[in-house]
A and B are shown apart, each in its own frame.
Chain A
Amino acid sequence: MLKIEFETPPLGELLTTPALQRDAMAHSRPFVAKPEHQQGLGFPGKLVDDWQDVALAKMDELLGKYRSLPVFLDACVKCGACTDKCHYYLGTGDPKNMPVARQDLLRKVYRRYFTLAGKWFPRLVGAVELSEDLINDWYSYYHQCSECRRCSVYCPFGIDTAEITMAGREILAAIGMGQKYSNEIIGKVHIIGNNLGLPEPALANTLEGLEEEVEEDISVPVKFPLDQHGAEVLLVTPSADFFAEPHVDGLIGYAKVFHQAGISWTLSSYASEAANFGIFIGNYENMQKVAQRIRQAAIDLGVKRIVVGECGHAWRVAYSFWNTLIGPFDFLDPAYPVPQHICEFTYDLLQRGALKLDAKANDDKVVTFHDSCNVSRGSRLGSVPGGQFTIPRELIRFACSHFVDMAPDTIHEHTFCCGGGGGLLTDDLIELRVKGALPRAQALQQVIEQHGVTHMAAICAICKSQFSKVLPYYGMEMDMIISVHQLIGDALVFDSQH
């Protein structure tokens, strides 16, 4: 099998900026998509013969469709404010992982073919032709960006490298160089309805097993309904919640909340996935097609509300893009936000006194919270800006007595990606994932030492998978990472009066 040898970076001081190490990560590149993964998404199966022409035509098309591209490509003044902000740069020291340098891989081609300065004075402005070497650099370094938007917080013009990475990946897919991991997964959603390729009988079986497990555990008949017509709520959650650890404990937490609140709900076997990797590959049509299943399921099941489970990029797509992609939602109950996040849902119930939590249940834990990048910088929770920071923390405080935050420049809008977001959560990129987790691991280590933190809660399936895989590389326990709704579920008081 795949064997990648590398050294885990030493934890060291929090947020130390490394010296440049040229080409330190030039070897890192994920598997290229096979023809069957490409074609199902409407992309050519393998590298097309006239790939340069196709790439430039695609770039031209995207420049006309996304205002972010011409503005961001023109506006950068190379001030350097972003250069020490990317977790992949901090973890690897490879200068092409500095956001501006990552953008420049595309910007220098843009300048060469689409600007007067680059056509007339290419050397002066650093414009170059689209060569085979450069396209390989694109493939390598546009798969070393998790589209987390941290750099965009510090840019005086709001340049968001995620937008450039998405464009780079879309061009790569259009010439036949898509990424296997993301494209294979999107293909599964198009055909089966979830990232795992879990068909309806397997899903039904899993949910039945969960019902038995929970009833055995707490003697309360908590249900996990599937395809139940006429339910009040359709819950759409990342499919990792169905079986992966620690995700499944989060799903159990949601189910307990629904049970105790007495609100009927259902999962859908047709739309059994909240994740939408269409955003990762920057392709509007695929993102729309993935999201479309959820609209269809909501109509078919006749629900009144859609609630989304704990998943970072899924929430960005749901919150920020669904109304655009698959709206309007005039068939749902206008009394509730569409979509609603499970944290908003639970928080609302707690505010109304419809749930009772006993924080003693989590007295054995000292908890910190990892803000997931897409929730923090690409969406919102609640009705006021910044609710994405306060609501999960308030939920944790309801559910447990010991909570501490990590260093201020690593939380809220300054939060670091877990290192596995943006379609990089694949074993062929394990070196990148471990190194990219360095800043978060440093901040976590600090609160472990200073406050005896035992657990880090998150509201993202990718964060949870990534941390349980990479924390052990830094000498931390894999089960430190937990779902916010695990804490809620464990603290929930079942009370027959409700």
Chain B
Amino acid sequence: MVLGSVFAVLFYLAAIILVIGVASRGARYAQTPAPLVIPTTPAPLTRTGVAARMAREVVFFESLFKGSKWTWLFGWLFHFGMVVALARHLRYFTEPVWWWVAMIQWIGIYAGMAMFVGLTGLWARRLLVDRVRYISALSDHLMLLLLLAIAGSGLVMKYVQHTDIVSLKAFTVGLVTLDWQPLPADGPLLIHLSLVIALMLIFPFSKLLHAPGVFFSPTRNMRDTPREHRHIAPWARDLPGAGPDRS
């Protein structure tokens, strides 16, 4: 029960830091004006068009596809493997398990493998391509190691050393319902959970901010309508050059 309590407290703490950290970063982005109209053109002329551009960027990694096919392939495998694997994990937090979560259980396993392959490919590029090696800091390698270890420890529990899934589910449902339960003391499980907590803590202070950041990127989220709509930042409105006669 001590183990369960420790992990429960850590999870709550990590969740609070993750949410507050990302929200405050997002608030900072949202409050900082983009004083000039700077979409990378050709750019959409309408808000719907911008939403479509952003959707293509976030779902298909459109720009990355133009930039580097290998990075796109590995990056996409990793990210969408992760999304599906995360969705698969919803079965630990819902009782009864939602129908669609039950349906994707079998894909979830392949998704975990895709994640692993994608991360391995990304790390191989980081190590083998001289240009990418040059721009990598220690943290860039460690981030991949962390994610690989999370995916790896997850796969180990599926294929090598099963964990007590019934007790685990009691623990996770207990987290959600604020009814703390003991946590099975299995090595791979404790490693898996500890690394996930570490990832949640690191998220708001690292390059993982690219996830909220992309939505605030002015080269991607602005319309190409500077002639039709006057765009002006509050700080620029007050400049002497703005002139007294202009709104």
On A, residues with C-beta under 8 Å from B are: 17, 19-20, 63-68, 70-72, 74-85, 95, 98, 100-101, 104, 115-117, 121, 123-126, 149, 152-160, 163, 284-285, 288-289, 292, 319-328, 337-339, 376-380, 384-386, 388-389, 413
Q: Indicate whether A413 sits within 8 Å of B42 (C-beta atoms), given known contacts A78-B136, A95-B134.
A: yes
Give the docked Cα–Cα distance between A20 and B61 (Å).
27
Residues A154 and B231 in contact, CB atoms below 8 Å apart: no
CA distance A116 to B206 in the complex (A): 9
Of the stretches B103-111, B171-179, B185-193, B213-221, the one at the interface is B213-221
Give every chain A residue within 8 A of B28 (Cβ-Cβ). Answer: 70
Chain A residue, CB-CB nearest to B125: A80
Task: List B residues 203-247 near A (Cβ within 8 Å).
Answer: 205-207, 209-210, 213-214, 216-220, 224, 226-227, 229-233, 235-236, 239, 241-243, 246-247
Produce 1/0 per residue, B14-50, CB < 8 A to A: 0000000000010011001111111011111100000
User: Does B1 sit within 8 A of A, measured CB to CB?
Assistant: no
Check A376 against B41 for contact (C-beta < 8 Å): yes
Q: State in angstroms the CA–CA spacing of A324 and B42 once bound together.
A: 20
> Of B63-71, B88-96, B149-157, B158-166, which stretch is located at the interface?
B63-71
Decide yes or no whether B2 CB sits under 8 A from chain A. Answer: no
User: For residue A100, which residues in chain B have a CB less than 8 angstroms away from its CB?
Assistant: 135
Question: Does B246 contact A327, Cβ atoms closer than 8 Å?
Answer: yes
Contact assessment for A337 and B40 in the assembled complex, using a CB-CB cutoff below 8 Å: no
Would you call B226 and A70 a contact (CB within 8 A)? Answer: no
Can you give 20 contacting A-B residue pairs, CB < 8 Å? A19-B130, A68-B38, A75-B209, A76-B210, A80-B131, A81-B67, A81-B68, A98-B135, A126-B139, A158-B40, A158-B218, A158-B220, A323-B229, A324-B226, A324-B231, A327-B246, A328-B230, A328-B247, A378-B41, A385-B44
Q: Is the CB of A78 within 8 A of B135?
A: yes
Q: Which of A77, A115, A163 has the most CB of B within 10 A?
A: A77
For the complex, give the distance between the alpha carbons of A163 and B219 in Å: 10
* A74–B130 touching, CB < 8 Å: no
By Cβ-Cβ distance, the 9 closest A-B pairs, closest first, are: A154-B67, A81-B67, A126-B137, A75-B213, A385-B42, A158-B219, A80-B132, A158-B220, A156-B64
Check if A77 sits within 8 Å of B210, measured CB to CB: yes
Least CB separation from A82: chain B residue: B67
Q: Bound state CA distance, A77 and B135, in angstroms? A: 10
| Additional A-B contact list (8), CB under 8 Å, known A158-B40, A323-B230 | A66-B35, A71-B29, A80-B132, A80-B135, A104-B135, A157-B214, A323-B229, A324-B232
Nearest B residue to A69, CB-CB: B32
Query: Which chain B residue lies CB-closest to A115?
Result: B205
Q: How far is the CB of B180 from chain A (nearest CB, A)?
A: 30
Instruction: List the B side residues contacting A284 at CB < 8 Å.
Output: 35-36, 236, 239
Number of interface residues of B (CB under 8 A): 68
Specify which chain B residues have a CB less than 8 angstroms from the CB of A101 in the assembled complex.
134-135
Q: A20-B130, A67-B29, A83-B135 are in contact. Are A159 and B41 (CB under 8 A)?
A: no
Contact between A71 and B217, CB atoms less than 8 A apart: yes
B135 touches A68 (CB 8 A): no
- Given the complex of chains A and B, what is the CA–CA distance between A187 and B87 in angstroms? 60
Q: Which residue of chain B has its CB nearest to the CB of A383?
A: B45
Q: Give chain B nearest CB distance to A26 CB in angstroms.
A: 15
B21 CB, min distance to chain A CBs, angstroms: 9
Contact A154 B63 (CB under 8 A): yes
Q: Which residues of chain A have C-beta atoms less than 8 A from B232's C-beta?
A: 324
Chain A residues contacting B63 (CB-CB under 8 Å) are 81, 153-156, 158
Contact B138 A83 (CB under 8 A): no
Contacts of B236 in A (CB 8 A): 284, 324
Q: Which residues of A contact B130 (CB under 8 A)?
A: 19-20
Of listed A95, A156, A159, A328, residue having the most chain B CB within 10 A = A156
0 or 1 for each of B89-133: is its CB under 8 Å from A? (1 = yes): 000000000000000000000000000000000100110011110
Please determine whether B137 and A80 come into contact, CB atoms closer than 8 angstroms.
no
Q: Are A68 and B34 in contact (CB under 8 A)?
A: yes
Q: A116: which of B41, B205, B220 is its contact (CB, 8 Å)?
A: B205
A160 and B36 contact, CB distance less than 8 A: no
> Are B71 and A68 neighbours in the complex by a CB distance under 8 Å?
no
In the assembled complex, how far is the CB of residue A374 from the closest CB belonging to chain B, in whole angstroms?
10
Quick one: closest A residue to B44, CB to CB? A385
Q: Separation in Å of the B179 CB from the closest CB of chain A? A: 34
Q: Quick one: which of B29, B37, B64, B129 contacts A321, CB cutoff 8 A?
A: B37
Q: What is the CA–CA distance of A384 and B246 in the complex, to the nearest angstrom?
A: 29
Contact between chains at B230 and A385 (CB < 8 Å): no
Contact A78–B137 (Cβ < 8 Å): yes
Given contacts A85-B67, A284-B35, contact A124 B220 (CB under 8 A): no
| Known A68-B38, A320-B37, A324-B37; contact A152-B125, beta-carbon cutoff 8 A | no
Q: Which residue of B lies closest to A125 (CB)?
A: B139
Knowing A74-B209, A125-B137, A385-B224 are in contact, say whether A328-B67 is a contact too (CB < 8 A). Answer: no
CB within 8 Å for A20 and B131 given contacts A156-B214, A338-B227: yes
Assuming the A-B contacts A80-B125, A124-B139, A154-B64, are A160 and B226 also in contact, with contact meaning beta carbons closer than 8 angstroms in the complex? no
Query: Bound state CA distance, A379 and B75, in angstroms?
Result: 30
Residue ID in chain A nearest B36 by CB atoms: A321
Find the residue from A83, A155, A157, A323 having the highest chain B CB count within 10 A.
Answer: A157
| B57 close to A156 (CB less than 8 A) | yes
Contact B64 A81 (CB under 8 A): yes
Question: Whole-angstrom distance between the alpha carbons of A98 and B68 in the complex?
Answer: 14
Residue of A nearest to B142 (CB): A124
- B226 and A319 within 8 A (CB): yes
Residue of B nearest to A108 (CB): B137
In the complex, what residues of A have CB within 8 A of residue B229's CB?
A: 323
CB B174 to nearest CB in A, in angstroms, measures 32
Q: When A74-B213, A80-B129, A155-B63 are in contact, do A380 and B42 touch as well, CB less than 8 Å? A: yes
Q: Which residue in chain B gives the minimum CB-CB distance to A22?
A: B134
The answer to whether A79 touches B68, judged by C-beta atoms less than 8 angstroms apart, is yes
Q: Contact check: which of A156, A160, A285 meets B241 at CB < 8 Å?
A: A285
Chain B residues, CB < 8 A from A327: 230, 246
Smallest distance from the beta carbon of B71 to chain A beta carbons, Å?
Answer: 5
